[in-house]
Amino acid sequence: MAKYLTIVDILHDRSQNLPHQTAYTFWPDGEKSSGSLTYRELETQVQAIAAHLQSIVIPGDRVLVVYPYTAGLEFITSFFGCIYAGVIAVTTNPPLNNDAIAKLQERVESSQPKAILSTESFLQEVQEKLAKNPDLAPNLKHLPWIATDKIPLSQAFQWLKPKIDTDTLAFFQYTSGSTGKPKGVMVTHSNVLHNSEIIYQSFEHTADSRGVIWLPMFHDMGLIGGVVQPLYGGFPVTLMSPVALIQKPIRWLKAISQYKATTSGGPNFAYDLVSRQVRPEQLESLDLSSWSVAFSGAESVRAETLDRFAETFAPCGFRREAFYPCYGMAETTLFISGGAKTKPPVVKYVNAEALAEKRVVVAPGKSKAVVSCGWSWLGDEIVIVDSESNAPSPEGRVGEIWVSSAGIGRGYWNQPKETESTFNAYLGVQGPFLRTGDLGFLQDGELFITGRIKDVMILWGRYRYPQDIELTVERCHPALRAGCGAAFSIETEDDERLVIVQEVERNYLRKLNIEEVVGGIRQAVAQEHTVEVYAIALLKTGSIPKTTSGKIQRGACRSQFLEDTLNIVGKWKLQTEKGSVSELADSYIKSRD
């Protein structure tokens, strides 16, 4: 791989040396292409947008990049156009309703952009909504709105290469907001190039690789993995709207089959979704034998999901060895750890009770499955730290994951206190480290993730991981929707108590047996976790709070539960404190018999 100093260097090199090679193809509906761009076409459009920006903003200004899911190629040209202009791209999800427009206002207040880029039709759509709701987002009305699809290509000749280097800020990558308000991570060109080289080496990409990506391009996994990495590696990628996958999950695998993709992936829920919804006759038309890197990240990687997917799609040529569990976050540009491409995922079975005490004990039976997310690359370092003493934890103990890497961003934009506490942690004189807020352990050189510090509950004197309880709940009754539940604790007068919030499958809503479902949840949680459920809220399909990347927002679930603003179709609460322990014991004994 040639030595590049900036993202501009990469795209210009591709345009000069591979001018007619297709860089990006986009399928807005997941069924057919709406167009593609060669490297030469891409750079020409990028230069035109950059020249237009250079006439109205100055280097270092922020520019908001807001495009509908169906405008993938326009998003890409505008993102790179910002970088070619020397301004900082601020990507965000498209505001499709009033709530999303209000969140866009928050993004404007946070990043202080000087302009907004989008397509002419989408800008008109948003402006019409603002006109009907004048108090909704007043700051948006005073910004220049630029329709990039109306910028003439002839402006490309007016572009002037900006004075940028490795330390220049390229874009802000906002955190998902799964445990709090999203924060803008300041990402430099050197951060991007370091992380891109890690992904290139760990995925063993070559010029012959081919990608299929459906992930949102404004999110770190879709942006770095789906847009930047193919450019860095010089290989083509087919991009899809995430809406297309949600509507018909099989579209994802059809695209892989048709384009003979080598690299594709997403969070655990995507693999689970397509495994559950695929029909036997659909398997006959799929050929997944080309798929050699099926990455899984952004949320907990579940061993049972890997097993189900591998078994379901083995007749289509899918190999279990293709699975590539990995770990990363916005603060590190994307990638933190991953394993070897040619080896199957490493799964360890540990004692769940010991894990609740931060101890790792390999269980003789299959107690709790934890999937390895590999190891750090290119000189990066991962350490496990006791969150109470801030001292390194020995192998076999759970602690907070700290990371040292050239891919770590420069901090949070305009948030010095949060930057200092998160990005500047030290072990004595060793550092600085990024405090990830995630819990995990190292064993045999591999990293295993167990949860997030902010989400961990202390119930009955033991640490409880919400994702474990959520998995138990979604399995206990067919009326409950997989991947759409939250477990969290609330403070009552005398103790910390467990609350379950869970979506119901759409076809069960009309004839929902609330008593049966509640009883199933209570018994399953008692049997598997020896803890009592204090309250249960059953929600309407599709209503649980999630981030734009599909992560459950447990904090938002908790707040809305306490405010009684969830879309509830059934609820239950423990009525009597006295005797509740014996109730649990009785339930537990019955479930064991």
- What one-character-per-residue DSSP string does 169-202 give? EEEEEE---SSSS--EEEEEHHHHHHHHHHHHHH
d(CA 544, CA 488): 14
What pLDDT score does 32 carry?
Answer: 84
Q: Please indicate whether residue 471 or residue 203 has the higher confidence score (pLDDT).
A: 203
Question: Cα–Cα distances in Å, from 116 out to 14, 89, 119, 144, 565?
Answer: 28, 10, 10, 6, 33
| 133 pLDDT more than 90 | no
d(CA 390, CA 397): 14
| 580 pLDDT more than 80 | no
Containing H/E element for 263? strand 263-266
In 3D space, the residue among 260, 201, 255, 205 whose CA is nearest the CA of residue 230 turns out to be 205
Q: Which residues contact 519 (CB under 8 A, 6 or more apart)?
A: none
pTM score, whole prediction:
0.84
| 574 pLDDT more than 60 | yes
Residue with tokens 């994307």: 334
What pLDDT score does 593 carry?
Answer: 34
pLDDT band at 493 (very low <50, low <70, confident <90, very high): low
Average pLDDT of the residues in 293-300: 90
Residue 211 three-state SS: strand
Q: Which residues contact 48 (CB under 8 A, 6 or more apart)?
A: 81, 151, 152, 153, 154, 155, 156, 159
What pLDDT score does 2 carry?
Answer: 59
pLDDT band at 591 (very low <50, low <70, confident <90, very high): very low
| Long-range contacts from 581-585, C-beta under 8 angstroms, 24+ separation | 581/532, 583/532, 584/526, 584/530, 584/531, 584/532
Alpha carbon 591 to chain centroid, angstroms: 36
pLDDT band at 432 (very low <50, low <70, confident <90, very high): very high
Average pLDDT of the residues in 366-389: 91
| 583 pLDDT more than 70 | no
The pair of structure tokens assigned to 110 is: 């946070």
d(CA 467, CA 475): 12
The pair of structure tokens assigned to 572 is: 């239950």
| 43 pLDDT more than 50 | yes
What pLDDT score does 356 carry?
Answer: 78
User: Are 501 and 485 spatial neighbours (Cβ–Cβ below 8 Å)?
Assistant: yes
- With residues binned 3-state (H G I as helix, E B as strand, rest as coil), the percentages for the chain, rounded to 5, are 40, 25, 35
pLDDT band at 10 (very low <50, low <70, confident <90, very high): very high
The pair of structure tokens assigned to 414 is: 């305009």
* CATH topology identical between 7-24+32-238 and 457-592: no
Q: Which residues contact 158 (CB under 8 A, 6 or more apart)?
A: 51, 54, 55
d(CA 9, CA 402): 32
| 171 pLDDT more than 60 | yes
| 210 pLDDT more than 90 | yes
| 460 pLDDT more than 70 | no
Q: Is the dihedral of CA 132, 136, 138, 139 positive or negative?
A: negative
**Homologous superfamily of 261-403+434-454:** ANL, N-terminal domain (3.40.50.12780)
Q: Which residues contact 320 (CB under 8 A, 6 or more apart)?
A: 306, 310, 314, 344, 345
Q: What is the pLDDT of residues 304-350, one digit of tens each?
A: 999 999 999 999 999 999 999 999 999 999 999 999 998 999 999 99
What pLDDT score does 549 carry?
Answer: 67
Q: What is the pLDDT of residues 539-558, one digit of tens each?
A: 999 999 987 667 788 888 98
User: Are 311 and 282 spatial neighbours (Cβ–Cβ below 8 Å)?
Assistant: no
In 3D space, the residue among 540, 531, 544 whose CA is nearest the CA of residue 472 turns out to be 531
Q: Which residues contact 217 (CB under 8 A, 6 or more apart)?
A: 72, 75, 76, 79, 91, 223, 226, 227, 239
What pLDDT score does 579 carry?
Answer: 40
d(CA 103, CA 93): 9
What pLDDT score does 585 carry?
Answer: 35
Q: What is the pLDDT of residues 57-100, one digit of tens each?
A: 999 999 999 999 999 999 999 999 999 999 999 999 888 777 77
Of 17-21, 241-245, 397-401, the range with the lowest mean pLDDT is: 241-245
* Domain-wise residue ranges, the chain: 7-24+32-238, 261-403+434-454, 457-592
| 413 pLDDT more than 90 | yes
457-592 CATH fold: GMP Synthetase; Chain A, domain 3 (3.30.300)
Bridge partners of 568?
A: 539
What pLDDT score does 394 carry?
Answer: 87
Alpha helices in 266-398 (DSSP H): 268-277, 280-283, 303-313, 352-355
In 3D space, the residue among 7, 107, 38, 34 whose CA is nearest the CA of residue 66 turns out to be 107
Please state which of the four CATH numbers 3.40.50.12780, 1.10.10.10, 3.40.50.150, 1.25.40.10 is assigned to the domain occupying 7-24+32-238.
3.40.50.12780
Average pLDDT of the residues in 365-371: 79
What pLDDT score does 578 carry?
Answer: 41
| 469 pLDDT more than 70 | yes
